């Protein structure tokens, strides 16, 4: 299947206008797709796992994609966008009503999609003359390496700029990372880094920027307060390239984003003991993920709380109005509590799942390869080496991460186990009629999972009326309701 990502921005100056980013001519172009918007030719960049096309548009825009390879069918995701393509020979013609991020897939070939990324034209473009602005101009490729931000600074990637480097900030306030340019990790071959690592920062805005070919965790706010991530795009394919890891942070909003990763798309964590101590309790609070498109490839989960959770509470987390267009392995919606934290007040609402192959829901309390009390020989430090005899057969693709012990052997480890409480799954819509399994499994009767409500869960439009019909396995749980 071929997928194209097109990034467009909305112009406020002239209706129906299209602004074409100026990417450096030497950056590799995809040869199999040709894309125009309102008759203007758009750049189509080559990527390891997709072709990517970009533009800035104003309002409704007509897009034409020419695929040089023969094809019969095309699907534009998320399907909830209701984009109706018209096929004329080797052309696909469709309209988008506003800025949005799409995956265009030909003949079910998910190895070669075209991503269409669109963004509105912004009124917060900074001046390159401002001494507090790091301004990277379009049409150039920069060998930037580390870009370290300080108080009140703005990093601006002009649409068409390609910056080969990574961004860090440590204990700073009032920073911005803006612009529809690309933070490019494709040349990184020997050292994994976080593409954007923000440590104990306050008042952060990240908007429109794309991160390409991440290696290592991609966007990582740790110990931060008041972070907004808006219309951010990612294309990652290498192992351990989590999309967004929100760690030990408060008041974080992620919206309108597109994440294609080969590990967790979005994960809520609290694993750093130094930050947890300084942050005070609660450790993770008031997190909102909404209106975001997710493609989880061959590892991790799509929308995840866990595995690494320290401190007293991880609470008040909402995932809503999101489109999970693909989960090739792992769970679509998951909470994995591997420490002694209480995870509570988590809501998954109005989430649409187009293609999930392993699990839909996975709530689990246990000892994982990341747990502080796991026997050393099974620790993640030494790889994934739990023997098959000690893997939980119920845990599906995540079974390699849990040390499964019989109930009569668990008491030694119970003091470091936590809780999961008050979780709501509301209006979860799975496109496929095939009912894939779910798992809700506590540690024991004391460290159990309590108060889970599943309301209006549908597969192929059919509402599930019982745990058995929905293929939801439960163990060490209380007050689990499906309605």
As a whole number, the mean pLDDT across the chain is 93
- Mean pLDDT, rounded, for 160-165: 97
Task: Round to whole Å and give the CA distance between 56 and 77.
Answer: 20
Structural element, H or E, at residue 453:
strand 449-459
Would you say residue 59 has pLDDT above 50? yes
pLDDT digits (tens, 9 = 90+) for 436-480: 999 999 999 999 999 999 999 999 999 999 999 999 999 999 999
What is the b/e burial string over 191-220, where b = at least 16 CB atoms within 10 angstroms of the residue's CB?
eebbbbbbbbbbbbbbbbbbbbbbbbbbbb
- Mean pLDDT, rounded, for 138-159: 98
pLDDT digits (tens, 9 = 90+) for 80-91: 999 999 999 999
Give me the pLDDT at residue 11, please: 35
Contact, 442 vs 475, CB < 8 A? yes
Give me the pLDDT at residue 271, please: 82
Q: Which of 313, 181, 321, 201 is nearest to 252 (CA)?
A: 201
What angle is formed at CA 171 by the lines to CA 166 and CA 174, rounded to 5 degrees?
80
- Mean pLDDT, rounded, for 312-322: 96
Q: What percent of the chain has pLDDT over 70?
A: 95
Give me the pLDDT at residue 312, please: 86
What domains are defined for the chain? Answer: 4-119 (2.60.350.10), 185-482 (2.160.20.10)
Q: Which of 267, 272, 306, 314 is nearest to 421 (CA)?
A: 314
Q: Which of 249, 339, 335 is nearest to 285 (CA)?
A: 249
Distances (CA, A) of 23 to 160, 185, 242, 304, 437: 4, 16, 27, 35, 45
Task: Round to whole Å and give the CA distance between 319 and 290.
Answer: 6
Give me the pLDDT at residue 276, please: 65
Band of the pLDDT at 58, cuts 50, 70, 90?
confident
Q: Which of 258, 327, 314, 256 is nearest to 287 (CA)?
A: 314
Q: Which residue has the higher pLDDT, 240 or 85?
A: 85
Give me the pLDDT at residue 226, please: 97
| pTM across the whole model | 0.94
Q: What is the CA radius of gyration of the chain?
A: 22
Q: Which of 158, 219, 212 is nearest to 187 (CA)?
A: 212
Q: Residue 237, Cα to own-chain centre: how many angstroms?
A: 13
Give me the pLDDT at residue 9, please: 40
Q: What percent of the chain has pLDDT over 90?
A: 84
Give me the pLDDT at residue 311, please: 83
Task: Characterize the bridge pairing of strands 250-255 and 225-230.
Answer: parallel
Give me the pLDDT at residue 406, please: 86
Lowest mean pLDDT among 152-166, 263-277, 335-349: 263-277
**Looking at 328-448, which runs of residues are DSSP E strands?**
331-337, 342-353, 359-365, 367-368, 402-403, 419-430, 438-441
For residue 341, give the DSSP letter: P
Band of the pLDDT at 1, cuts 50, 70, 90?
very low
Contact, 163 vs 142, CB < 8 A? yes
């Amino acid at each position: 299947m071929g997928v194209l990502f097109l990034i467009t921005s909305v112009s406020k100056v002239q209706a129906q206008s299209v602004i074409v980013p100026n990417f450096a001519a030497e950056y590799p172009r995809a040869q199999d797709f040709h894309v125009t918007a309102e008759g203007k030719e758009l750049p189509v960049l080559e990527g390891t796992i997709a072709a990517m096309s970009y533009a800035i548009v104003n309002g409704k825009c007509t897009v034409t994609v020419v695929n040089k390879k023969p094809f019969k069918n095309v699907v534009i995701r998320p399907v909830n966008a209701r984009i109706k393509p018209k096929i004329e020979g080797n052309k696909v013609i469709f309209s988008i009503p506003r800025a949005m991020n799409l995956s265009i897939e030909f003949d079910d070939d998910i190895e070669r999609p075209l991503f269409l990324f669109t963004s509105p034209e912004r009124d917060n473009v900074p001046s390159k003359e401002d001494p507090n602005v790091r301004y990277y101009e379009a049409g150039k490729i920069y060998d930037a390496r580390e870009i370290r931000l300080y108080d009140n600074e703005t990093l601006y990637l002009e649409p068409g700029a390609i910056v080969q480097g990574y961004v860090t900030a440590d204990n700073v306030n009032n920073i911005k990372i803006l612009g529809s340019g690309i933070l490019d990790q494709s040349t990184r071959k020997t050292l994994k880094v976080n593409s954007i690592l923000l440590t104990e920062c306050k008042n952060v805005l990240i908007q429109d920027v794309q991160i390409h070919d991440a290696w290592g965790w991609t966007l990582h706010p740790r110990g931060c307060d008041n972070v907004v991530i808006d219309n951010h795009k990612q294309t990652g394919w290498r192992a351990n390239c989590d999309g967004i890891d929100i760690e030990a942070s408060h008041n974080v909003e992620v919206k309108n984003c597109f994440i294609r990763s080969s590990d967790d798309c979005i994960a809520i964590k609290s694993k750093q003991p130094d930050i947890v101590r300084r942050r005070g309790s609660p450790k993770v609070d008031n997190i909102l993920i909404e209106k975001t498109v997710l493609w989880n490839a061959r590892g991790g989960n799509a929308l995840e709380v866990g595995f690494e959770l320290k401190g007293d509470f991880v609470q008040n987390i909402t995932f809503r109005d999101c489109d999970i267009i693909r989960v090739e392995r792992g769970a679509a919606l998951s909470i994995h509590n591997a420490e002694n934290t209480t995870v509570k007040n988590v809501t998954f609402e109005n989430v649409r799942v187009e293609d999930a192959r392993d699990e839909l829901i996975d709530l689990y309390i246990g000892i994982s390869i990341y747990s502080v009390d796991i026997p050393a020989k099974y620790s993640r430090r030494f790889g994934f080496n739990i023997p098959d005899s000690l893997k939980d057969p119920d845990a599906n693709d995540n079974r390699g991460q849990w040390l499964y012990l019989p109930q009569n052997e668990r008491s030694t480890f119970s003091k470091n186990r936590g809780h999961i409480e008050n979780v709501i799954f509301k209006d979860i819509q799975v496109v496929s009629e095939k009912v894939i399994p779910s798992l809700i499994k506590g540690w024991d009767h004391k460290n159990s999972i309590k108060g889970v409500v599943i309301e209006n869960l549908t597969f192929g439009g059919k509402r599930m009326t019982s745990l058995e019909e929905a293929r939801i396995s439960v163990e060490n749980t209380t007050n689990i309701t499906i309605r």
